């Protein structure tokens, strides 16, 4: 799958993957917008023959080509607090136990299977909590977004064509054409909207085009089928506002560098999926730092971590508190929000709960 002329991992991977990994982990529920992009005709659904990912884990390549750097990265990942599990049990005397599942907002069948015990916990719960309950009524969610057009579109006369260099415009135009999308149709769309299309491999786009529900939405649909209430901790508009607060230069760079990854996009996606499936989500942070060895993106990463991770962790923990006080809750949010000293696991502990790995 990988062309022989492509640079090796220390070249292409470390040069281009950093911002894409940030995007994948910051994807929020924006992947839910994919179905709307299909409905609105902005993108062409992937053909069935494009659906096979056929990817490999780049960590193996990293281990072979830079064993010392790989060992250091693993050691740093081991130090991340609460970084070794994506499924947690939440307990407090007098309350029925609740559970916290870190998710990956994708339709990969391996991810949809959930870790042992998680499906049973969601079935037993009285209340289901997600990042946003608007995934159950996407038209209503989109209406709230379109009420703030500046979150999705350039409304000040700017466009991707005016903000990117001629070379990058040509690169973007060619990539969109390959996907059946004319640049003129999306040139005024904010880059984070396009990233929800371009950052996904063909197999994921194909499943989305077939209306396969991503993990969070499937959990919500199952809850509705069982007659359970589904509550959200954020709105789509709040999530988009968070992305909008990140400097535009970082978004534009992410967009172009994702395109430059070419066939290795599938490998990056597979690497992050394997990390998730192993439960070792704490390793994602040192992986991102390893992917930016020259420190070029230190400022961008710090701002990403503050806005998209840390601040949202506190908001979600505060909004979840009164729901957790009722007991019997199943919470499912992006896995990046669980680990570290200001992750949801630790923040829930600070609210008086015992939180332990459930698997």
How far apart (Å, rounded) are the C-alpha atoms in residues 25 and 19? 10
| Closest alpha carbon to 182 in 195, 166, 194, 165 | 194
Helix 265-278 and helix 14-25, axial crossing angle in degrees, nearest 10: 50
Burial, 157: exposed, middle or buried (Cβ in 10 Å; 0-12, 13-18, 19+)? exposed
pLDDT along the chain (359 residues), means of 10: 31 46 53 40 42 73 87 92 97 98 89 94 97 84 79 92 97 89 90 79 76 87 97 88 86 85 80 90 78 52 80 96 98 92 97 95
How far apart (Å, rounded) are the C-alpha atoms in residues 236 and 224? 20
With contact defined as beta carbons under 8 Å apart, do 11 and 271 qualify?
no
Q: How high is the pLDDT of residue 16?
A: 45
Q: Which residues are CB-contacts of 255 (< 8 A; sequence separation ≥ 6)?
A: 172, 191, 194, 195, 198
| Closest alpha carbon to 43 in 250, 153, 206 | 206
Q: How high is the pLDDT of residue 152?
A: 84
DSSP state of 340: S
The bridge status of strand 98-103 relative to strand 87-91 is antiparallel
Residue 145 tokens, joined:
């977004």
- DSSP reduced 3-state for 134: helix
Q: How high is the pLDDT of residue 37?
A: 42
How far apart (Å, rounded) are the C-alpha atoms in residues 158 and 281? 38
Residue 86 tokens, joined:
């994506």
With contact defined as beta carbons under 8 Å apart, do 317 and 344 qualify?
yes
pTM of the model: 0.86
DSSP state of 356: E
Residue 357 tokens, joined:
């790995």
Residue 235 tokens, joined:
């709105």
How far apart (Å, rounded) are the C-alpha atoms in residues 120 and 118? 5
Q: How high is the pLDDT of residue 170?
A: 97
With contact defined as beta carbons under 8 Å apart, do 188 and 162 qualify?
no
- DSSP reduced 3-state for 253: helix
Looking at the DSSP assignment, which residues form a beta bridge with residue 106? none
Q: How high is the pLDDT of residue 220?
A: 95
With contact defined as beta carbons under 8 Å apart, do 254 and 191 qualify?
yes
CA distances from 358 to 36, 102, 224, 263, 354 (A): 35, 12, 24, 37, 12
Q: Which residues are CB-contacts of 260 (< 8 A; sequence separation ≥ 6)?
A: 12, 16, 171
């Amino acid at each position: 799958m990988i062309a022989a002329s492509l640079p090796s991992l220390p070249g292409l991977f470390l040069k281009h993957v950093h911002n894409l990994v940030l995007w994948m982990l910051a994807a929020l529920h924006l992947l839910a917008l994919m179905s709307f992009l299909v409905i609105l005709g902005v993108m062409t659904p992937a053909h069935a023959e494009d659906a096979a990912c056929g990817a490999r884990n780049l960590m193996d390549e990293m281990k072979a080509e830079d064993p010392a750097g790989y060992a250091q990265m693993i050691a740093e990942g081991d130090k991340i607090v609460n970084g070794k599990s994506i499924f947690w049990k939440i307990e407090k005397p007098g309350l029925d136990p609740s559970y916290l599942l870190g998710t990956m907002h994708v339709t990969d069948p391996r991810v949809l299977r959930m870790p042992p015990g998680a499906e049973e916990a969601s079935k037993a719960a009285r209340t289901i909590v997600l990042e946003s309950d608007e995934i159950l009524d996407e038209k209503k969610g989109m209406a709230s977004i379109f009420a703030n057009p500046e979150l999705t579109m350039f409304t000040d006369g700017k466009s991707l064509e005016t903000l990117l260099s001629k070379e990058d415009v040509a690169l973007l135009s060619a990539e969109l054409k390959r996907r059946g999308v004319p640049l003129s149709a999306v040139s005024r769309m904010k880059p984070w909207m396009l990233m929800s299309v371009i950052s996904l491999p063909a197999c994921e786009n194909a499943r989305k085009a077939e209306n396969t529900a991503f993990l969070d939405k499937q959990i919500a649909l199952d809850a509705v089928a069982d007659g359970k209430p589904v509550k959200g901790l954020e709105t789509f508009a709040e999530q988009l506002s968070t992305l909008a607060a990140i400097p535009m230069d970082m978004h534009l760079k992410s967009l172009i560098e994702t395109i430059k990854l070419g066939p290795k996009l599938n490998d990056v996606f597979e690497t992050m999926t394997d990390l998730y499936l192993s439960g070792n989500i704490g390793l994602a942070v040192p992986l991102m730092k390893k992917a930016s060895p020259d420190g070029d993106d230190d400022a961008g990463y710090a701002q990403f971590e503050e806005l998209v991770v840390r601040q949202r962790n506190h908001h979600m923990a505060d909004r979840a508190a009164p729901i957790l006080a009722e007991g019997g809750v199943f919470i499912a949010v992006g896995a990046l929000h669980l680990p570290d000293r200001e992750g949801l696991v630790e923040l829930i502990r600070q609210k008086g709960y015992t939180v332990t790995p459930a698997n």
